[in-house]
Chain A
């Protein structure tokens, strides 16, 4: 005799029931944790932005952010203005600009829509920092960064992060010895044109003393991640050039 659990109708009903039960369970879990997860993401963004402008708790070689519970307050203290740039030079203030998803904006641009460019203006020890979030592709998945510049587009600090680069190789873009190399690098070339910063394996400048060569030293074994970082710096930061030009003219 055929077992009850072998019947087609039973199988179909079981499958439907299973989907309903598992689906509701997961929806419930996701809903109840959503607020906490969003909060974590917000804290992370604020920490990253502050890190780029040098507000962090680094010691000699560590990467340490402002503590979770303090970051909201510090963010309000150091970040004086958040703006969204459209059409190259149109500037609009927006207190929630730091929550803009760069990924979504890039997709928009691909579909031919206007891309909104967020920029955060920070002030520390009477020096002004212009911090910009950018995003690109590494070897396996997304890489992104927060780059702090002065009004001449000279990098003052940078924080890099990634989704899934190889541990010990590409993942080292978020180590100090890589990120700190960018400090002082000029994004413009000698003639004042935008050039970006290339990640070079052969620049003969491993200690990165030459700050006007538009190059930093690469990480061994992370060629594709490095190329991705350089491409991201070039394509995304270029969009901000009109804003900085305007800044100098005024």
Chain B
């Protein structure tokens, strides 16, 4: 990559696979379970988190030397909360339908542990550019898992993708449904997201043995 040094591109690429926030660091599981019943919600959540974590990391990194250490966590929380409110308001103004569908989940970004986790672990100790890349990388890694989980849950649970009936119509019994296929309503419930995340972790670890901890 010409634009970024090798070290910098590692900051973006590592969280996509070998240092993925969800499957390896096990952060941000809560929202990965909650909002992935539909692919569209997963994608929007991913974009929102990319925005909040990218900017948030830069802001924290810029003020890292003047933050009083005693109220460090409160300052971080304020920065996230402010950014999330801005995202929420902008969505309400320019993408009203979507903001309605996401509802409370936008607000829940505040409690997403990836964000506080990256502020604490990275932005407080690194410069703005590096923090920005780290934020984008981790948010992309998070978003990637979200979209994979959302894809399977919507496909198997509702038989649709982004609302399109890709498997036929379950009521009129066309497409796959005409040969007796049924949607798995279980897929719409949060526990199934955990099982899909588990399968992703399994696939990932069997491909890369270095990720398996020693007994």
Q: Using Cβ atoms and an 8 Å threshold, which residues of chain B touch A6?
A: 68-70
Asked if residues B89 and A14 are in contact (CB atoms below 8 Å), the reply is no
Interface string of A25-40 (1 = CB under 8 A from B): 1100110010011001
Q: Does B52 contact A (CB under 8 A)?
A: no
B73 at the interface (CB under 8 A from A): no
Does B68 lie within 8 Å of A167, measured CB to CB? no
- B202 located at the interface, meaning its Cβ lies under 8 Å from any Cβ of chain A in the complex: no
CB-based contact A40/B93 at 8 Å: yes
Check B69–A5 contact: CB distance below 8 A. Answer: yes
Tell yes or no: B188 within 8 A of A by CB: yes
Contact with B along A177-192 (1 / 0, CB 8 A): 1000000000000000
Taking CB atoms, residues of chain B closer than 8 Å to A61 are 169, 171
Closest beta carbon of chain A to B136's beta carbon, Å: 22
- Do most interface residues of chain A lie in helix, strand or loop, or is the interface mixed? helix
Q: Per-residue CB proximity of A5-26 to B under 8 Å, as 1/0?
A: 1100011001100110010011
A-B contact pairs, 29 of them (CB 8 A): A3-B69, A5-B66, A5-B67, A5-B68, A6-B70, A14-B67, A14-B71, A15-B68, A15-B71, A15-B74, A18-B78, A19-B78, A22-B78, A30-B89, A33-B90, A36-B94, A37-B92, A43-B96, A44-B96, A61-B171, A163-B104, A164-B104, A167-B37, A167-B38, A168-B158, A168-B185, A168-B188, A220-B185, A221-B185
- Asked whether B82 is an interface residue with its Cβ less than 8 Å from the other chain, the reply is yes
Q: Complex: how many Å from CA A30 to CA B41?
A: 24
Q: A14-B68, A14-B75 are in contact. List 19 more A-B contacts (CB 8 A).
A: A5-B66, A11-B70, A15-B71, A15-B74, A22-B79, A22-B82, A25-B82, A26-B85, A26-B86, A29-B85, A29-B89, A33-B93, A36-B93, A40-B96, A43-B96, A164-B104, A167-B188, A168-B38, A220-B185
Chain A 145-172 interface 0/1 with B at a Cβ cutoff of 8 Å (1 = within):
0000000000000000001101111000
Question: For the complex, is B103 an interface residue (Cβ under 8 Å from A)?
Answer: yes
| CA A10 to CA B65, docked complex, whole Å | 13
B43: min CB distance to chain A, Å: 14
How many angstroms from the CA of A43 to the CA of B92 in the assembled complex?
A: 13
Interface centre among B67, B71, B89, B185, by most A CB within 10 Å?
A: B89
Chain B window 148-187, contacts with chain A (Cβ cutoff 8 Å), 1 for yes, 0 for no: 0000000001100000000001010000000000000100
Query: Of B37, B71, B92, B169, which is within 8 A of A33 by CB?
Result: B92
Instruction: Please report the C-alpha to C-alpha distance between residue A215 and residue B125 in the assembled complex, in whole angstroms.
Output: 63
Residues of chain B within 8 A (CB-CB) of A3 are 69
Task: Give the chain A neighbours of B90 by CB distance below 8 A.
Answer: 29, 33
Q: Which residues of B contact A220 (CB under 8 A)?
A: 185
Interface residues on A, range: 20 to 34
A19 to B75, CA, bound (A): 10
Whether the Cβ atoms of A11 and B96 lie closer than 8 Å is no
Contact partners of A177 in chain B: CB under 8 A: 171
Complex CA gap A151/B93 in Å reads 38
A18 to B70 CA separation, bound complex (whole angstroms):
14
The distance in angstroms between the C-alpha atoms of A123 and B79, with both chains bound, is 51
Q: Name which residue of chain B comes closest to A5, CB basis.
A: B68
For B71, list chain A residues within 8 Å (CB): 11, 14-15
User: In the complex, A41→B96 CA distance in Å?
Assistant: 8
* Contact A40–B92 (Cβ < 8 Å): yes
B155 to chain A, nearest CB (A): 13
> In the assembled complex, which residues on chain A have CB atoms less than 8 Å from the CB atom of B70?
6, 11
> CB distance A29 to B86 under 8 Å?
yes
The 8 closest A-B pairs by CB, nearest first: A168-B188, A11-B68, A40-B96, A36-B93, A167-B37, A33-B93, A164-B103, A22-B82
Bound Cα distance from A11 to B69, whole angstroms: 8
Q: Are B188 and A169 in contact (CB under 8 A)?
A: yes
Interface string of B49-82 (1 = CB under 8 A from A): 0000000000000000111111100110011001
CA distance A177 to B40 in the complex (A): 22
Query: Residue A26 contacts which of B37, B82, B188, B189 (CB distance < 8 angstroms)?
Result: B82
